[in-house]
Amino acid sequence: DDSEPTAEPSERERVIAALERAGWVQARAARLLGMTPRQIAYRVQILNIEMKQI
């Protein structure tokens, strides 16, 4: 029985993972996700992601 739920990462997790890989640079993270910097800035705001200060 393969009724095990698939661990599909949430959009919030995907954005955070991309930000971590990009050193918390939104423009780089946007490129990793195929978004514009403006789109990722909006996602960060609506998903309530706290930006790390490096």
Q: Where are the domains of the chain?
A: 11-46
Provide the pLDDT for residue 7: 74
Provide the pLDDT for residue 5: 60
What average pLDDT does the segment 28-33 reach? 98
Burial 4-43 (b: 16+ CB within 10 A, else e): eeeeeeeeeebbbebbeebeeebebbbeebebeeeebeeb
| This prediction's pTM | 0.78
**Amino acid residing at 35:** M
| 44 has pLDDT over 80 | yes
Provide the pLDDT for residue 53: 63
Bigger pLDDT: 36 vs 6: 36
Provide the pLDDT for residue 2: 54
What average pLDDT does the segment 2-25 reach? 86
The Cα 54–Cα 37 span in angstroms is 19
